A = this chain, B = another copy of it.
Amino acid sequence: MSIGKFAQCSGLTPSALRFYQDAGLIRPAVVDDASGYRYYAAGQLAQGIAIRQLRDMAMPLGAIPQVLDDDAAEAGRLIDEHVARLGDQLRQARRTAAAFQERPGEGSGLPVASVKGPVLAAAAEQILTAAAPGPGSPVLGGLRVEAASGALTLTATDGYRLATRTLVPDQAPGTTWAATLNGDDLREILPRIRHRALVHVEASRPGVRLRTDCGHTEYCRTVAGQYPDYRLLLSALPPAATRLTVARDALLRALDRHAGNLIRLHVTRGGLTLGPAPEVAAPRSLRARSAGPPAAAWFHLTTFYPAVSAAIGPDLMLDLRGPGQPATIRSADTGDLTTLAMPARPGVSLAPAGSGTGSLP
């Protein structure tokens, strides 16, 4: 196989292959003495592709022979460590970027509200469980923050679930203000916020600044783009057909023990039955109060569990509205956290966010 052919098959370039030969990384199987032509064996392709992949993840040439020579377990270890180092560098860069943004220019931002650090951290963490993780829609990956009439409202949704909560700040917002905070930035900041007594939230042109009394400042980017009108969505919901009140930690414990991702909730007059499907043996029963006709709904545990786990009060209120309609999960006594969850259809796996099927209207 000539150098051009080998390059094409492995995704490398001829000049890179020549360089790798000089570096002793991969040598042609045969070199023609007279012409100097390099010939590679088909069996070297795997190695060529491996080198390209390692270089694609910015691994230094010097580290590559180790990875190629070691057994799979050891090689996996080296790669994992390398990727973790890249993550460190990114985190460091994010911190530096945050520090850069708070240079003495433009003065300090517009004060929005002041909240206790542990309270803000707990609430943001709670709500962020309903945000869309990873790359995808930047708006749905973020936390919506709205300051109005003396209160701070935090909201997140990924199209399948929606969580919203209202906080009463220590220093109430004087202005009306709203923004969508970058979820990744915020999650990284939260551990440092949690141990600050009081955090001042300030709007600073492109992002949000979280300032503490001791002069420490964190910067969080905002996400551009219109946030879904969840208030309209909430107010347009039809009334609950069936309402269930159940002890939160009993339900949580039953969910812990449930096998499989699909779960069926069956609400009867006397209680709640959890099971994989009606015909499968050993469904689990919980005592609960219910109003309205008996009803059943399927959920994906990955959608339903975070909603239950994030709730606060001792009792949970579950409103079912029938097939295709979102269910509401709420603390029974104090309604400052509301979660919506789309039911799943059995046999239908959770579609990726934004693909349209089964998402919130």
Contacts and interface: CB of A to CB of B under 8 A. Distances in A.
Interface of A: 46, 50, 53-54, 56-58, 71-77, 79-84, 86-94, 96-97, 99-101, 103-107, 109, 116-119, 121-122, 125, 128-129, 131, 133-135, 167-168, 170, 182-185, 187-188, 191-192, 194-198, 204-207, 209, 219, 221, 247-249, 252-253, 255-257, 259-261, 300-302, 305-306, 309-310, 312-315, 331, 333-334, 350
Number of copies: 2
A155 B277 CA distance: 36
A207 B81 contact: yes
Contacts of A252: 312
11 contacts: A56-B96, A72-B107, A75-B107, A80-B209, A121-B129, A134-B192, A195-B302, A196-B302, A197-B261, A249-B313, A314-B314
A109 B122 CA distance: 34
Nearest to A353: B195
Task: Report, nearest first, the 5 A-B pairs whose CB atoms are least far apart.
Answer: A314-B314, A197-B261, A72-B105, A76-B206, A133-B191
Given A76-B101, A133-B194, A187-B187, 12 more contacts: A53-B99, A56-B92, A75-B107, A76-B205, A76-B207, A84-B219, A88-B184, A133-B192, A168-B256, A197-B301, A253-B334, A314-B315
A132 B197 CA distance: 16
Contacts of A306: 118, 121-122, 194
Given A76-B205, A107-B73, A168-B256, A93 B133 contact: no
Contact of A302 (B194, B260, B300, B333): B194
B198 A261 contact: yes
A167 to B, nearest CB: 8
Contacts of A249: 312-314, 331, 333-334
B87 A305 contact: no
Contact of A206 (B54, B81, B105): B81
A83 B79 contact: no
Given A72-B205, A207-B77, A306-B118, A90 B86 contact: yes
Contacts of A118: 301-302, 305-306, 309
Given A57-B93, A84-B185, A109 B309 contact: no
